[in-house]
Amino acid sequence: MTVQTVRTQPFSDQKPGTSGLRKQVPTFQKPHYLENFIQSIFDSLEGYQGQTLVVGGDGRYYNRQAIQTILKMAAANGFGRVLVGQGGILSTPAASCVIRKHQALGGIILSASHNPGGPQGDFGVKYNTGNGGPAPEKVTDAIFQRSQVIDEYKILDASDVDLDRIATYTLGNTRVEVIDAVTDYAALMEALFDFDQIQQFITSGNFRLCIDSLHAVTGPYAKAIFERRLNAPAGTVQNGEPLEDFGGGHPDPNLVYAKDLVKVMFGENAPDFGAASDGDGDRNMILGRNFFVTPSDSLAVLAANATLVPGYREGLAGIARSMPTSQAPDRVAAKLGIDCYETPTGWKFFGNLLDAGKATLCGEESFGTGSNHVREKDGLWAVLFWLNILAVRKQSVEEIVKDHWATYGRNIYSRHDYEEVASDRANDLMDTLRGKLSSLPGQTLGRYTVDYADDFSYTDPVDGSVSSKQGVRIGFTDGSRIVFRLSGTGTQGATLRLYLESYEADPAKHDQDPQDALGDLIQIADEVAQIQAKTGRDRPTVIT
């Protein structure tokens, strides 16, 4: 085995987004493209020689090939030990768990999360630091800067590692350990939740559940935890075999793309509880029988009931939510007398709060919820949290949510996504909107009066770093909000996200359909931002 030094030239498009570098598979397959980015990661780190690196992905197309390249490059660059999930599999929260448990320097996670897979689908690479969380902006900025001047990379001339057999291999002076992808994560879950109580509850004969893994990474985890450890009936986990193209589906756990689960949960003789997770296992959707729980409400309910769960019996230090997430968690935090932090979108912004002990639970409206047990959002963790609460309270999902609304009021909420909008059109919309902000406060729009209008900026309370231009907010005097932002998770064009929120205290009005209740705000949003005129779209691609 010899170390090869390969001459290369920079690619101009390797700037990481909110969740690493995401491109279509053919882009990553270009000669030197993946290698350049991996070497840029290594070149941006200090003191990594002899250290431990974790590697794994969501099983999508190109996952295995990319891992072989990364293993050989890690060996050529002097890492002492690499832990890689069996079959190349590690869910994103499991990777965070493994990084933390084994005190690794960091980890490389291969995923494009909820984006489609396959030969023409999406692929992604992101670096997580030693706390298990996504690299902060100062690290990703350094990676990008290095990628723009890189002129060579190192790779070991060696045979591929057998990823399917749990064993230890040697690549040069590097020890490569193929580990069981599930074991460490499942042990952490059992330490947080009352598995015996959950098992008794779901095997009582009076409760049925359905878990949909969308042919993505959580299939092996869900089968091991729900069907084998908790003794749920075989078949409880549907679409549980990870496939390189996710079975031709879109591994995004929402009402549109998780259609198999929605059909079950809104059909005749529906189960009591349903949940779906996404491509890399960090997102979740929670459903009751004929009932959808918004991610914002899910975070608020978990926070309000946290002391019912063993891992959180001592209470919460604080709650953190992304800016576009509804203000429902704020109301829980106020009642509990704890802080609620409003951060930009992107899980990396929660890392400092969690590390500093300022927050315990955190979540985003984009179907991500998590806590201080790892430094990523965690889909199956959220499912187990809900099941533990259900086992204690012995109420239905709908009853628990409606009880919550009766106590705190309902933050009626919806997100409208306009996907694959031409980037120039999307940027023009946002630039035009920003130009209007100073004139909006005090204006009457329909039956609403504008209280404030700004482009959200966040100052991290731990390290003082500032993140600006994180989304346009228009807030009204009655507490309603409209938020506009461009997503950084797609690979084609731009995704315009419109978030709408209105608070309703009257329990008699809590059963309103969100699209009806938010109708006036939807119209105002279109008029203010000229959505139809500037995007050419007369309706959103996805409504959640």
Q: What is the CATH number of domain 410-543?
A: 3.30.310.50
- Residue 542 is predicted with a pLDDT of 85
The tens digit of pLDDT for each residue in 356-387 reads 999 999 999 999 999 999 999 999 999 999 99
Per-residue confidence band for 18, with pLDDT thresholds at 50, 70 and 90? confident
DSSP string spanning 229-272? IS-PPTTSEES-S--TTGGGS----STTT-HHHHHHHTSTT--S
Burial of 267 (C-beta count, 10 Å sphere; 0-12/13-18/19+): exposed
- Residue 348 is predicted with a pLDDT of 84
Helix (H, G, I), strand (E, B) or coil at 454: strand
pLDDT at 490 over 70: no
- Residue 413 is predicted with a pLDDT of 96
What mean pLDDT comes out for the span 476-489? 89
What mean pLDDT comes out for the span 266-286? 96
The tens digit of pLDDT for each residue in 48-102 reads 999 999 999 999 999 999 999 999 999 999 999 999 999 999 999 999 999 999 9
3-state helix, strand, coil in the chain (%, to 5): 35, 25, 40
**Which are the catalytic amino acids?**
113
The tens digit of pLDDT for each residue in 519-541 reads 999 999 999 999 999 999 999 99
Per-residue confidence band for 487, with pLDDT thresholds at 50, 70 and 90? confident
pLDDT at 170 over 80: yes
Domains 2-181 and 185-408 agree in fold: yes
What mean pLDDT comes out for the span 274-299? 97
DSSP string spanning 98-165? HHHHTT-SEEEEE--TTS--STTSEEEEEEE-TTSSBPPHHHHHHHHHHHTT--EEEEEE-PPP-TTS
Per-residue confidence band for 450, with pLDDT thresholds at 50, 70 and 90? very high
Q: What is the CATH number of domain 185-408?
A: 3.40.120.10
Helices 379-393 + 295-304 axis angle, to 10? 50
% of residues, the chain, pLDDT over 70: 99
Domain ranges of the chain: 2-181, 185-408, 410-543
Listed in sequence order, the DSSP H helices in 409-453 are 423-436
- Residue 17 is predicted with a pLDDT of 83
Averaged pLDDT of the chain: 96
pLDDT at 410 over 60: yes
- Residue 346 is predicted with a pLDDT of 85
pLDDT at 544 over 90: no
What class does CATH assign to 2-181? Answer: alpha beta
Contacts with 181 (C-beta within 8 Å, 6 or more apart), sequence order: 56, 85, 86, 87, 89, 90, 91, 94, 220, 221
Residue 412 CA to residue 490 CA, distance in Å, equals 27
Q: Which two tokens stand for residue 46?
A: 């200090």
Residue 176 CA to residue 161 CA, distance in Å, equals 8
Residue 186 C-alpha from the chain's centroid: 19
- Residue 488 is predicted with a pLDDT of 59
